């Protein structure tokens, strides 16, 4: 059996800061985030509604000058009534 090793460049700190911004804004404004806010983050982001209390966000790390493949971070925000 051969052993394989794999390295992946991921900007976790960058992702964490984006998650913090999105979660803080969601707490401030509620269930529906302003699209201008999401566009201002200058990232590719997908938003999925899991149910009427949970939104799932998927952020793409697209650094054009990077030799590394695209990486996605997916997280959810649960809203209380």
Query: How far is residue 46's CA from residue 58's CA, in Å, rounded to a whole number?
Result: 5
DSSP 42: -
DSSP 31: S
**Is the four-CA dihedral 35, 40, 45, 49 of positive or negative sign?**
negative
- In a domain, residue 3? The reply is no
**Is the four-CA dihedral 28, 32, 36, 39 of positive or negative sign?**
positive
- In a domain, residue 4? The reply is no
Domain extent, residue 63, equals 12-78
- In a domain, residue 25? The reply is yes
- In a domain, residue 2? The reply is no
Do 33 and 58 contact (CB within 8 A), yes or no?
no
Would the pTM count as exceeding 0.85?
Answer: no
The number of distinct structural domains making up the chain is 1
- In a domain, residue 61? The reply is yes
Beta bridge partners of 77: 55
Can you give the pLDDT of all 81 residues of the chain as single tens digits?
A: 888 887 777 778 888 899 899 888 888 887 777 888 888 988 888 988 888 788 899 988 776 666 666 788 898 888 876
- In a domain, residue 7? The reply is no
């Amino acid at each position: 059996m051969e052993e394989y090793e794999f390295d992946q460049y991921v900007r976790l700190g960058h992702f964490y800061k984006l998650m913090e911004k999105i979660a803080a804004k969601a707490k401030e404004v509620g269930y529906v985030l302003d699209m201008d806010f999401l566009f201002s983050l200058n990232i590719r982001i997908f938003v999925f509604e899991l149910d009427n209390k949970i939104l799932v966000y998927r952020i793409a790390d697209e650094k054009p000058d990077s030799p590394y493949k695209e990486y996605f971070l997916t997280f959810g925000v649960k809203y209380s009534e």
